[in-house]
Chains A and B, each alone.
Chain A
Amino acid sequence: MSKPPSTEAAYRPLSPHLQVWKFHITMFTSILHRATGIASVVGAVMVAAWLLAIGLTASGHCPEAYTLFLSFAASPFGLFVWFGLTLAGFIHLTGGLRHLIWDMGLGFRISSANALAWWSLLGGIALTLAFWAVLFATGKVVL
């Protein structure tokens, strides 16, 4: 502990500090949960833009809105962004499930906590790969 915060700053438990924690899987997935949560905000913006593009095209306010959206969303770079967003989203989804399990007071033994962290991380990656594998296999996405 270096020094207490200034009196104006509320004293509260902080999240793991990147520089001072020795690597372990629960610390890594904790940081990853925050990072994937922030990354998912971009996903929310993209889906909101998709809905606005549909609305503007359908209402006739801007008939080329959907084409404009697709020129980004269906481009190779757009697909790369969607892949990243699904990865972040699925890891945040399984990570959220892990946190809900902990919130119920379960899985606090170190071995259980580590196992949960690994399963949620690998589960999120597996869901992402499966999602895209089926998209490619059914010909819905073609490079």
Chain B
Amino acid sequence: MVDSYLKQRSAKDWKKSEKHGAGEWLAERWTSVALFFLTLWAAWSAFGLANQGYEAALAFVKVPLNAGLLAATFVITMWHTYMGLNANVLDYFPNSRALRLLNLLFCLAVLAVALGGIYLAFKA
């Protein structure tokens, strides 16, 4: 029963997966590699800024390299988060389009808040 079901599904899915899926797998990996370095940089920066107050935090964000790295960290983090949370949605609620949409909107909202904050601080 399960075997015949698998064959039936696979035959239908193969054509789709020929062109779709490898890109997502690769995106999961390269975002991981990028975030390995970016989050270590972020942890190092957080250590430097801890207990240094508002002026130090603002000065940090105003450095163009830091603002750029922060923006890049958030773009890649929220993309990675979207893929990771989607894996959870697909495991536990495989048929829920609503949850996948909610996940997308949530990740975009967090990204918008972070980029908005960087922009306002950088411009001020």
Chain A contact residues, CB within 8 Å of chain B: 1, 4-5, 8-12, 14-15, 34, 37-38, 40-41, 44-45, 47-61, 66, 86, 89, 93, 96-97, 99-100, 103, 131, 134-135, 139-142
Contacts and interface: CB of A to CB of B under 8 A. Distances in A.
27 contacts: A5-B94, A9-B95, A10-B9, A10-B90, A14-B91, A34-B88, A37-B84, A38-B84, A40-B81, A41-B81, A44-B77, A44-B110, A48-B74, A48-B111, A48-B114, A51-B70, A52-B113, A54-B58, A57-B54, A59-B124, A60-B124, A89-B39, A96-B32, A97-B36, A134-B47, A140-B50, A141-B50
A11 B85 contact: no
Given A52-B114, A55-B116, 10 more contacts: A12-B94, A38-B84, A44-B78, A48-B74, A57-B58, A58-B58, A58-B121, A93-B36, A141-B51, A142-B51
Interface of B: 1-2, 5-6, 9, 13, 29, 32-33, 35-36, 39-40, 42-43, 47, 50-51, 54, 57-58, 61, 70, 74, 77-78, 81, 84-85, 88, 90-91, 94-95, 110-111, 113-114, 116-121, 123-124
Contacts of B85: 38, 41
A59 B120 contact: yes
Given A10-B94, A58-B58, A53 B117 contact: yes
A41 B114 CA distance: 13
B113 A51 contact: yes
B29 A48 contact: no
If over half of B's interface residues share one DSSP class (helix, strand or loop), that class is named, otherwise mixed; here it is helix
Q: Closest 10 interchain pairs by CB? A: A55-B120, A51-B117, A58-B124, A55-B117, A52-B117, A48-B114, A140-B50, A59-B120, A55-B121, A48-B113
B118 A131 contact: no
Contact of A51 (B40, B78, B94, B118): B118
If over half of A's interface residues share one DSSP class (helix, strand or loop), that class is named, otherwise mixed; here it is helix
Contacts of A41: 81, 85
Contacts of A49: 113
